[in-house]
Amino acid sequence: MKIALYQVAGDEEWRMSLAPEVDERHWREQGRQITWLGATRSIGLAAAFIRKRSLPRHMETGLAPLPALTDGDWDEVKQTGQKWIPFLTGRALLLEEIEALLLKHGQTDASERLRRVLQWLILKGECDMRPGVDSARPAWHWRCERCGAGGSTLVVRTCASCQEHCVVCETCLIMGRSRTCAPFFLFTKVQGRALGAVSSFTEVQVGASRHSLTIAQRRAVTELRGHLCGSARQVLVWAVTGAGKTEMMFPLLEEALRAGKKVAWVTPRKDVVLELAPRIRQAFNSVRVLALHGGSADTWLTGEVVVATAHQMWRFAQAFEWMVVDEVDAFPLYGHRALEQGLHRALAPSGKQVLLTATPPAGWQSLAKQGRLPSVVLPARHHGFPHPEPRLAVVWGLWRKLRRNRPIPVVEQFLKQVEARSGQAMLFVPRVQDVKVVVTWLIGQGWPQEEIAGVYAAQPDREEEVARFRDGSRKWLVTTTILERGVTVPRVHVLVLGADHPVFDRAGLVQIAGRVGRRADYQEGEVWFVAEERTEAQIKALKEIKRLNHCAAKEGFLQKEAYSH
Amino acid sequence: MCGRGFDKVPSAGVCFDCVRIAEEERVMNRSPVTYTEQVAAWVRLFKYRGKEGLATPMGRWMAEVARVHYARENISLVTFVPLHEERLIQRGFNQAEKLADEVGRRLRLPVCPLLVRNKDTAYQSKRTREERLSALGGSVILADGAWKRHVANQVVLIVDDVYTTGATVRECAKPLRQAGVKKVCSVTFAR
């Protein structure tokens, strides 16, 4: 795409233009002269020139005569620009994404008019244009403007579009190629214009959730509300698994929506998006709730509540005043710098971020303890029963015995106990190939084959198998860590085989233990960790669960009367 | 002939698709993988999403296949299926060229852009067999720099990403044969 460079009289600054005729007209109306330098084939070259003042090799100095912009054209550009502002504001998009968005909103446009309108928006200060990848300086400073990634995921390619060596970002490639010669547009409110009140928003229907909060939850909500009124940008909510984190957020969500704020609910997992969006839709049936994930149909629509995977936040800039980040410590979000930066950019300057988790990383726990990260702790489950504490068992040569089909008394005991209590069991294993080993062992030990199922991430019929386990037609489910979060099966027991494997870290083990006893009417569920040796992760997980239970008991939440609604 | 698996070939080593093509037009093709759902996903990621880094493993695999199957052909030149200029600017790279670069590097053969497309045809991937076979007529010509004395009596290997009906490869073979190329073979990533 051609980018022209010019200077306005009485101003040192060089400016970039997508459509020179628009700039010509704009500055003439303001009574100022402009001098054109020329045009480059790539926005990256233009940006490098502005930074370094060195003429790019392929600079065409002087411009071809500009197409005349009639008064009619000019008015049309302005009107179209005004029309586009509402659905472009708060977005961060590449050119092809803008095209897709406009198409979705029924604005099919010739590329010429698109360029003119975008340039007009840039001149108005509604939009900021920069190269997709900032590669003007040495490689150490290269950065993808879209996702913030740097380092080895930025690769140099010969590019046929600009006939230069272009830097392409491979971190956010799956959402479109961000590269040096492709312009990237940030539609942010530079003048700090307040977000318009939510238009179609009339009356929020209050779902049943509000009235069924327990005392512990209500107390946490009050505390959280206090933090959100303060100056803190981020608040950590540490609630044990099964504490009802989602329900707890609903009253706050409602308040935010009433105040006309735009809200995002971000989670690292697509499954959670698919499960949560209908629940929010049901609770607030007069607002538009979008479910965004890779391949979602809602991608380019606008709505008051956005439920999205973390990757989708790359497409927003300063769009949300209230953001809930669910399962912050989960893969792929935790420790992924590009995704975290995306979340920060999507948050409005005055926005608030609520970080929800059951297992905050040690670093955050100490920050919270020091008071540097405001936090709310909810140690009790919604039904008031304590979190089940895992039992640690050591079995020598566990995998050898499993492979050779030898009896393992501890595991046998667990399985018989589950049968006696008429429950179901999830057997967690560390690696995909272990699923088969354990399934074979179970069959070899005489457990009925039709009651056993094994699942792992890449399995084609994984969802059906899990559904069969949920409805009770499978009794034993051998699984990898894919089911460690977000699964609720009422009568479940849990056995972790090989709990000493590094994939089972403290957080993972606490989450796995949290699958058990989530329903008030079945509290016989047990958690066993079977391993060849005790590891720090197992001991820490046990300690953390004990501590939270102790905390809950001390605050008096583990009593029946605290839960009379 | 076209590299289809032997379980689908009725007799004489020529499958029912190749039998329908005139003998002098046939181009021998070999591919490392069958075009399955998974392979289609890889090709999409490579070609449309633009993950150019995939050219390295894919090209390596293709070079290995070419080395084994064309050991007796004495291939002297590698070329690739051209992309129309507008499509090239839009996509930013020619996927066949990236693969050919890798194949050429592995086989230690020169890679030459011998062909250009003189009309912009729509995507082959969205057409039926009959449309594909007829749509391409005369759309590929010899490039300006490829003189006849350079290509005459050479054995040329054409590289592309996917072989479905073979129409593209045969279309590319036509101008090469007219220029006096001794033999044309092709290698594609998927068949």
Per-residue pLDDT tens over the stretch A481-503? 888 877 788 899 999 999 999 99
Chain centre to alpha carbon of residue A276: 13
Cβ distance A155 to B50 less than 8 Å, yes or no, reads: no
Report the first-to-last Cα separation within chain A, whole angstroms. Answer: 63
Nearest to A510 by CA among A533, A485, A530, A532: A485
Among 3.90.190.20, 3.10.20.30, 3.40.50.300, 3.30.565.10, what is the CATH number of A208-378? 3.40.50.300
Cβ distance A161 to B52 less than 8 Å, yes or no, reads: no
Q: What contacts A122, CB < 8 A, 6 or more positions away?
A: A18, A128, A129
> Cβ contacts (< 8 Å) between A174 and chain B: which residues?
45, 49
Q: What is the pLDDT of residue B12?
A: 58
Nearest to A241 by CA among A375, A425, A381: A381
Q: Does A179 touch chain B (CB under 8 A)?
A: yes
> Cβ contacts (< 8 Å) between A168 and chain B: which residues?
50, 52
Distance CA A208, CA B30 (A): 64
What's B99's domain CATH number? 3.40.50.2020
> Cβ contacts (< 8 Å) between A2 and chain B: which residues?
none
Q: What is the pLDDT of residue B86?
A: 85
Q: Name which of A326-340, A403-417, A490-504, B156-170 the model is least confident about.
A: A326-340
Cβ distance A170 to B94 less than 8 Å, yes or no, reads: no
- Asked if A115 and A43 count as a contact pair (C-beta separation under 8 A), the reply is no
Using alpha carbons only, what angle is made at residue B176 by residues B172 and B179, rounded to the nearest 5 degrees? Answer: 150
Q: What is the pLDDT of residue A332?
A: 83
- The verdict on residue B170 lying in a domain is yes
- The four Cα atoms A53, A54, A58, A61 give a dihedral, to 10 degrees, of 60
Our CA-based measurement puts residue B93 at a distance from the nearest CA of chain A, in whole angstroms, of 5
Domain ranges of chain A: 3-186, 208-378, 391-563
Residue A383 vs residues A166, A174, A517, A551: alpha-carbon distances, Å: 57, 42, 10, 16
Distance CA A51, CA A424 (A): 64
Q: Name which of A11-15, A195-199, B156-160 the model is least confident about.
A: A195-199
Helices A506-513 and A536-554: crossing angle in degrees, nearest 10, is 50
Distance CA A466, CA A274 (A): 16
Q: Does A197 touch chain B (CB under 8 A)?
A: no
Cβ distance A179 to B91 less than 8 Å, yes or no, reads: no
Distance CA A517, CA A497 (A): 20
* Token output for A144: 């993808």
**Three-class secondary structure assignment of chain B:** CCCCCHHHCCECCECHHHHCCCHHHCCEEECCECCCHHHHHHHHHHHCCCCHHHHHHHHHHHHHHHHHHCCCCCCCEEEECCCCHHHHHHHCCCHHHHHHHHHHHHHCCCECCCEEECCCCCCHHHCCHHHHHHHCCCCEEECCCCCHHHHCCCEEEEEEEECCCCHHHHHHHHHHHHCCCCEEEEEEEEC
Q: Which member of B45, B51, B93 has the closest CB to residue A159? A: B93
Helix H or strand E segment including A5: strand A3-8
Cβ distance B52 to A168 less than 8 Å, yes or no, reads: yes
Nearest to A335 by CA among A167, A176, A501, A505: A505
- The verdict on residue B61 lying in a domain is yes
The mean pLDDT of A453-467, rounded to a whole number, is 85
> Cβ contacts (< 8 Å) between B41 and chain A: which residues?
none
* Lookup result for tokens 């046939």: B26
β-strand partners of A492? A424
Distance CA A109, CA A103 (A): 8
Our CA-based measurement puts residue A441 at a distance from the nearest CA of chain B, in whole angstroms, of 31
* Token output for A104: 């979705």
Amino acid at A28: R
Q: What is the pLDDT of residue B97?
A: 93
Q: Does A159 touch chain B (CB under 8 A)?
A: yes
- Asked if A456 and A432 count as a contact pair (C-beta separation under 8 A), the reply is yes
Q: Which member of B49, B53, B89 has the closest CB to residue A160? A: B89
- The verdict on residue B46 lying in a domain is yes
Helix H or strand E segment including A89: none
**Helix segments in A182-244, DSSP class H:** 215-229
Chain B residue with minimum CA distance to A159:
B92
Our CA-based measurement puts residue B135 at a distance from the nearest CA of chain A, in whole angstroms, of 26
* Token output for B50: 């633009």
Distance CA A43, CA B32 (A): 40
ipTM: 0.79
Q: What contacts A311, CB < 8 A, 6 or more positions away?
A: A172, A174, A175, A294, A339, A342
Per-residue pLDDT tens over the stretch B82-139? 998 888 888 889 999 999 999 999 999 999 988 988 876 666 666 777 776 666 677 8
Our CA-based measurement puts residue A143 at a distance from the nearest CA of chain B, in whole angstroms, of 18
Amino acid at A482: I
Neighbours of B11 (CB within 10 A): 7
Cβ distance B92 to A159 less than 8 Å, yes or no, reads: yes
Q: Which member of A157, A160, A177 has the closest CB to residue B88? A: A160
Per-residue pLDDT tens over the stretch A125-153? 889 999 999 988 888 889 999 988 888 88
- Asked if A145 and A133 count as a contact pair (C-beta separation under 8 A), the reply is yes
Our CA-based measurement puts residue A158 at a distance from the nearest CA of chain B, in whole angstroms, of 8
Chain B residue with minimum CA distance to A176:
B49
Q: What is the pLDDT of residue A543?
A: 94
Q: What is the pLDDT of residue A284?
A: 82
Q: Name which of A453-467, A524-538, B94-108 the model is least confident about.
A: A453-467
What percent of chain A has a predicted confidence (pLDDT) above 90? 38
Q: What is the pLDDT of residue B7?
A: 62
Distance CA B120, CA A83 (A): 35
Q: How many domains does chain B have?
A: 1
Cβ distance B50 to A173 less than 8 Å, yes or no, reads: yes
Distance CA B112, CA B77 (A): 7
Per-residue pLDDT tens over the stretch A216-254? 888 888 889 888 888 888 999 998 888 888 888 888 888
Helices A270-283 and A245-258: crossing angle in degrees, nearest 10, is 60
pLDDT band at A205 (very low <50, low <70, confident <90, very high): very low
Chain centre to alpha carbon of residue A268: 4
Distance CA B27, CA B8 (A): 18
Q: Does A158 touch chain B (CB under 8 A)?
A: yes
β-strand partners of A428? A479, A496
Cβ distance B52 to A179 less than 8 Å, yes or no, reads: no
Distance CA A320, CA B130 (A): 52
- Return the percent helix, strand and coil in chain A, to nearest 5: 40, 20, 40
| Beta-carbon contacts below 8 Å between A and B | 33
| Cβ-based interface (< 8 Å): residues of B facing A | 45, 49-53, 88-94
Interface test with B, best of A97, A152, A158, A180 (most B CBs within 10 A): A158
Model-level pTM? 0.82
Q: What is the CATH number of domain A391-563?
A: 3.40.50.300
Residue A176 has pLDDT above 50, yes or no: yes
Cβ distance A168 to B49 less than 8 Å, yes or no, reads: no
β-strand partners of A290? A306
- Asked if A42 and A162 count as a contact pair (C-beta separation under 8 A), the reply is yes
Q: What contacts A413, CB < 8 A, 6 or more positions away?
A: none
Neighbours of A301 (CB within 10 A): 15
Cβ distance A173 to B90 less than 8 Å, yes or no, reads: no
Q: What is the pLDDT of residue A558?
A: 65
- The verdict on residue B15 lying in a domain is no
Domain that includes residue B82, residue range: 29-190
